[in-house]
């Protein structure tokens, strides 16, 4: 919107526009007829305008302002439809509106009415929580006075605003104690690899709490839960007490509060406006997926809330009808590029971001719906994309992918990695990671993923590094284990190897040297799981038909 023209006495800090408001005394004395006097009477500081409006306004105006809690009205009398129609900057805004209305009724000059200011808060009074019966007060995190989404609604989570504040205080206290204990434990972390006494006590406490959980729900509890579901339907969260241990339930509550706080931060930064400009679900093939994060799709698509995506060419559409017509004439049945790996129904295609720019951009936009740290959307030309698919009689369905810089100075073998939600927890994530290290072995390089990793990505990589090291220990027949030799054989960065050995308590500092311990109990446990799992979800190096690209 166009910026107001600054007056000679306006503020130069750029934090607020010049405010055209007049002193009430001069308005009553008739000085408004002189434009020079009116111009000199303009106040440029927000504090002066607020203080004068609070001191000079008559008592009846203040009472009207205190009673009026409805959102401000536009000149046409309708409630504003967007933030651009609301000009409020402080809790005294309703008072200013009442004062302006009082001046209008008294017949004073309209030029002397206090003008409304811009609304820069994270919410506006025209919004309302969608939960039935909720007054939008309180927040699940206990740190905000109001909420406007289900994710932050205490009522939806069967809590009150006061209970949320109490839980927030308890979480902050626990976090402070945890950080203090970690700082004390980390002072000698290089020499003491065994769990501390505090960690052992905490583990025993958790085990005891989990043992005390109920085996099942009683008949009265089941009836109570069913009554709650029939009364509120999907407008309330199901009752969760007695379903699991108190410890696991508290972990779940903490995760809910943390996710709600992250959404609130994005909303305050203006990146998302939940309910109006965020894609909540996508229809992808035969699946309907709930999204996790905001993705910068064009506004005319994002504001729909639901997006329809072709699972082969990744084109996004607005309706089911458009998708059906597109699928009738879409000739794609697999990703573009070269198929560099195939074993059974699993294939991997190498897609060049420079040759297939539109496909790669659509892939990045789709991935951002499920990745928090991803920032690459449009500049895809310097990257190669390795897309894993699972084939059936209808085509090659997208399982996941990882991107890789064509020329990485830090030897990153993965820039971004994602497994589609419908294929998670099935072993495909480790297959993608294993495939990235297989490419590093062919290139005769040592690789490592680009940081920062997402939460799910970090869990997957730590699990993969653990399996690689235990497999190496199982097959190792020598006397001395060298981290350098492990790195050369597995293509894993030595830093990642050391961090994994420390987490497994297989690295000991003794007489000025770091020694690698071969823990047979962990190796036997891994071997038992490996035998039980089988070899269905593994990468076969013999099925790779790929040579490192040159001149890219």
Mean pLDDT (10-residue bins), the chain, 552 residues: 40 39 39 41 40 43 38 35 34 40 43 39 55 88 85 88 90 86 66 72 83 73 87 86 83 87 73 62 93 87 88 93 93 94 95 94 93 80 95 94 90 92 92 94 91 82 92 85 89 91 85 81 88 81 88 52
Residue 344 per-residue DSSP state: T
Per-residue pLDDT, 68: 39
d(CA 64, CA 379): 55
pTM exceeds 0.85 for this model: no
- 342: which residues sit within 8 A by CB, 6+ positions away? 348, 543
Per-residue pLDDT, 351: 95
d(CA 98, CA 64): 6
- Per the CB < 8 A criterion, the answer to whether 406 and 381 are in contact is no
Long-range Cβ pairs for the range 293-298 (8 Å, 24+): 293/368, 293/369, 293/370, 293/371, 293/372, 294/266, 294/368, 295/365, 295/366, 295/368, 295/369, 296/365, 296/368, 296/377, 297/365
Q: How far is CA 543 from CA 37, 137, 384, 546, in A?
A: 86, 59, 20, 9
Per-residue pLDDT, 376: 75
What's the token pair of residue 365? Answer: 């936009």
The helix/strand/coil state of 449 is strand
Burial class (CB in 10 A: 0-12, 13-18, 19+), 276: exposed
Known catalytic membership, residue 261: no
In this structure, the dihedral spanned by the alpha carbons of residues 230, 234, 235 and 238, taken in order and rounded to 10 degrees, is: 70
Q: Which of 450, 467, 485, 489 is an active site residue?
A: 450
Long-range Cβ pairs for the range 451-457 (8 Å, 24+): 452/373, 453/373, 454/371, 454/372, 454/373, 455/372, 456/424, 456/429, 457/417
Per-residue pLDDT, 293: 87
φ/ψ of residue 219, rounded to 5: -65, -40
φ/ψ of residue 530, rounded to 5: -65, -40
Alpha helices (runs of H) in 34-160, residue ranges in sequence order: 35-40, 46-56, 59-67, 93-105
């Amino acid at each position: 919107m166009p910026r107001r023209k600054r007056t000679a006495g306006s503020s130069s800090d750029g934090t607020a526009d010049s405010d055209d408001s007049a002193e009430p005394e001069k308005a009553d004395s008739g000085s408004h007829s002189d434009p020079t006097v009116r111009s000199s009477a303009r106040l440029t500081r927000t504090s002066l305008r607020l203080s004068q409006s609070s001191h000079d306004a008559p008592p009846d105006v203040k009472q009207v302002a205190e009673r009026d809690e409805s959102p401000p009205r536009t000149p046409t009398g309708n409630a504003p439809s967007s933030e651009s129609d609301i000009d409020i900057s402080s809790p005294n805004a309703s008072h200013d509106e009442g004062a302006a209305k009082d001046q209008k009724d008294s017949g004073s000059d309209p030029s002397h009415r206090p003008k409304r200011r811009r609304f820069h808060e994270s919410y506006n009074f025209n919004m309302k929580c969608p939960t039935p019966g909720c007054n939008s007060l309180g927040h699940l995190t206990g740190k905000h006075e109001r909420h406007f989404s289900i994710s932050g609604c205490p009522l939806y989570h069967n809590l009150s605003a006061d209970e949320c504040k109490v839980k927030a205080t308890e979480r902050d206290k626990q976090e402070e104690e945890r950080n203090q204990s970690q700082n004390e434990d980390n002072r000698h972390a290089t020499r003491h690899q065994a769990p501390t006494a505090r960690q052992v006590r905490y583990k025993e406490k958790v085990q005891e709490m989990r043992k005390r959980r109920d085996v099942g729900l009683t008949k009265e509890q089941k009836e109570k839960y069913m009554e709650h579901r029939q009364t509120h339907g999907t407008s309330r969260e199901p009752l969760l007490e007695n379903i699991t241990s108190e410890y696991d339930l508290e972990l779940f509550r903490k995760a809910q509060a943390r996710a709600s706080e992250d959404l609130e931060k994005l909303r305050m930064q203006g990146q998302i406006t939940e309910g109006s400009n965020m894609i909540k679900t996508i229809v992808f093939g035969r699946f309907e997926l709930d999204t996790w994060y905001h993705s910068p799709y064009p506004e005319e698509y994002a504001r729909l809330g639901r997006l329809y995506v072709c699972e082969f060419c990744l084109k996004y559409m607005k309706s089911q009808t458009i998708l059906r017509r597109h699928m009738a004439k879409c000739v794609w049945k697999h990703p573009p590029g070269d198929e560099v790996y195939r074993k059974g129904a699993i294939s991997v295609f190498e897609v060049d971001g420079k040759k297939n720019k539109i496909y790669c951009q659509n892939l990045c936009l789709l991935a951002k719906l499920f990745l928090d740290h991803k920032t690459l959307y449009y500049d895809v030309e310097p990257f190669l994309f390795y897309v894993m698919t699972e084939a059936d009689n209808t085509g090659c369905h997208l399982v996941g992918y990882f991107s890789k810089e064509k020329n990485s100075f830090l030897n990153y073998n993965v820039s971004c990695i994602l497994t589609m939600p419908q294929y998670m927890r099935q072993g495909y994530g480790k297959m993608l990671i294993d495939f990235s290290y297989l490419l590093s072995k062919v290139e005769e390089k040592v690789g490592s993923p680009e940081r920062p990793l997402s939460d799910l990505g970090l869990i997957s990589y730590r699990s993969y590094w653990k399996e690689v090291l235990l497999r190496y220990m199982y097959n190792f027949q020598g006397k001395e284990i060298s981290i350098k030799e492990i790195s050369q054989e597995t293509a894993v960065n030595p830093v990642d190897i050391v961090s994994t050995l420390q987490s497994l308590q297989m690295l000991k500092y003794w007489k000025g040297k770091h020694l690698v311990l071969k823990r047979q109990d962990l190796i036997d446990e891994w071997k038992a799981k490996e035998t039980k799992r089988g070899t269905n979800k593994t990468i076969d190096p013999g099925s790779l038909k790929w040579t490192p690209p040159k001149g890219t």
